[in-house]
Amino acid sequence: MKPVELKDGVYWVGAIDWDERDFHNFVTERGLTYNSYLIMDEKVTLVDTVKHKFVRQSMERIRKVVEPSEIEYIVVNHIEPDHSSGLPDTVKIAKDATIICTQRAKDGLCRYYDCDGWNFQVVKGGDELKIGRRTLMFVDMTMLHWPDSMATYVKEDRLLLSNDAFGQHIASGGRFDEDIGVDEALKWAKIYYANILMPLSGLIKKKLAEIQNLNLEIDMIAPSHGVVWRNPAKIIEAYSRWSNFESENKVVIVYDSMWHSTEAIARAIADGVESEGAEVRVFHVRKDHWTSIVTEILDARAVAVGSPTIHNGLFPTVAGFLTYLKGLKPQNKKGLAFGSYGWNGNGVKEVHRILEELKFEMLEPFMVKFRPTKEELEKAFEMGAELAK
């Protein structure tokens, strides 16, 4: 369990979780990492800890550089337990360490854990801490993505320890973007952004501008999940696109079906989209996971959602997906609600209402009684073409 040196005297000492497949309903099909960083200076500093069951793995890495008991500062950028649940065991080992965090982080840590006897030093955005030849500058990241969040910038190394920002959920033997391929790293970063950070896009735009105004020279970004960016301009540019909801010429169709009627409509709409040369992605909500669906919605220009009507309302799987989508707040989309019904079309009406709440620019809902006729499928085709246009 070797540490990995990022910069002279700065090491990755985190943990790799090869087996985890779910993170708050986010499918992590390639596992994930909990990244922790050790800075060797006059004051030995650890930035972020790991999930509690991986403390031993992290300590073994640290021990190859320095005895963990010699850690003098522990910087807590964010208190969510995937980062902080290893803190109590770490404090037992580094008994004299001072915990550096925001006031909200301190309050939260003492709600999660028994912090009696812990040494705290509260900081805020713009504060600096000299640890020897290096200076740590703390960057306010409030609500990116919790109220307590901050990032740590190592000025002399031009290194941003960004916590959840710029991360990805992927377990890998390589520690850098180039190790798995920059495009591959961006693919996993997009999945992470779509499923965790999309609702915070307005704040992210402001934060990117603020970091630019601070004139921070950044030649490496080390997040708390996934690989480290040796090509930071690539991920910063991607965050700029995603936070502005820049879209591709793509329509995403999402549906569920009871007796294949709504499915037939979905396929007719897809054919109509293709007829106009636009890209189309079709998802069945019981066969495709929401993680993949919303990743495609992030940069789609239009979204069509189909549901049959059951018990005078939405089909449960579609209702669940739309609840997930509402929380993520995608923007700048065209929308279409469609589906079949027997006694009323309340399911489709409810889809239309929810997409309107998301401020999608909506076409008229398209409803078919029982099984679609040839003429109705032709109409669905035309609606797909209209969406594509």
- Answer whether 314's CB lies under 8 Å from 320's CB: no
293 and 154 both lie in a single domain: no
159 and 12 both lie in a single domain: yes
Q: Which of 37, 192, 193, 239 is catalytic?
A: 192
Q: Is 164 a catalytic residue?
A: yes
Q: Which domain holds residue 281?
A: 248-388
Q: Which of 369, 344, 336, 137 is nearest to 255 (CA)?
A: 336
- Burial of 152: CB neighbours in 10 Å, binned 0-12, 13-18, 19+: buried
Residue 310, pLDDT score: 85
Q: Which of 20, 60, 80, 274 is catalytic?
A: 80
Q: In the listed set 189, 214, 243, which residue is the last one of a domain according to the structure?
A: 243
Q: Is 145 a catalytic residue?
A: yes
For residue 334, the tally of other CB atoms under 10 A from its CB is: 20
Residue 108, pLDDT score: 97
259 and 207 both lie in a single domain: no
Q: At what angle do helices 346-357 and 316-328 cross, to 10 degrees?
A: 10
First to last CA, the chain: 54
Q: Which of 145, 169, 193, 341 is catalytic?
A: 145
Q: Is 184 a catalytic residue?
A: no
Q: Is 225 a catalytic residue?
A: yes
Positions of the chain with pLDDT under 50: none
Q: Using one digit for the tens of pLDDT, what is the confidence trace for 199-237?
A: 999 999 999 998 888 888 999 999 999 999 999 999 999
Residue 342, pLDDT score: 82
Q: Is 52 a catalytic residue?
A: no
Q: In the listed set 243, 269, 290, which residue is the last one of a domain according to the structure?
A: 243
298 and 231 both lie in a single domain: no
Q: Using one digit for the tens of pLDDT, what is the confidence trace for 102-128?
A: 999 999 999 999 999 999 999 999 999
Token readout for 363 is 């076409």
Residue 211, pLDDT score: 83
> In Å, how far are 129, 145, 153 from 43, measured between CA atoms?
10, 29, 16
Q: Which of 164, 256, 263, 376 is catalytic?
A: 164
Q: Is 80 a catalytic residue?
A: yes
Q: Give the chain's domain count.
A: 2
Q: Using one digit for the tens of pLDDT, what is the confidence trace for 54-101?
A: 999 999 999 999 999 999 999 999 999 999 999 999 999 999 999 999
Q: Which of 37, 48, 148, 225 is catalytic?
A: 225
Whole-number Å distance between alpha carbons of 297 and 302: 8
Q: Which of 19, 24, 311, 375 is catalytic?
A: 24
> Tell me, what CATH number does 91's domain have?
3.60.15.10
Q: In the listed set 243, 258, 284, which residue is the last one of a domain according to the structure?
A: 243
375 and 273 both lie in a single domain: yes
156 and 79 both lie in a single domain: yes
Q: Is the dihedral of CA 350, 354, 357, 360 positive or negative?
A: negative
354 and 284 both lie in a single domain: yes
155 and 275 both lie in a single domain: no
> Tell me, what CATH number does 321's domain have?
3.40.50.360
39 and 145 both lie in a single domain: yes
261 and 161 both lie in a single domain: no
Peptide bond into 145 cis (omega under 30): yes
130 and 144 both lie in a single domain: yes
271 and 194 both lie in a single domain: no
> In Å, how far are 116, 158, 295 from 250, measured between CA atoms?
54, 38, 12
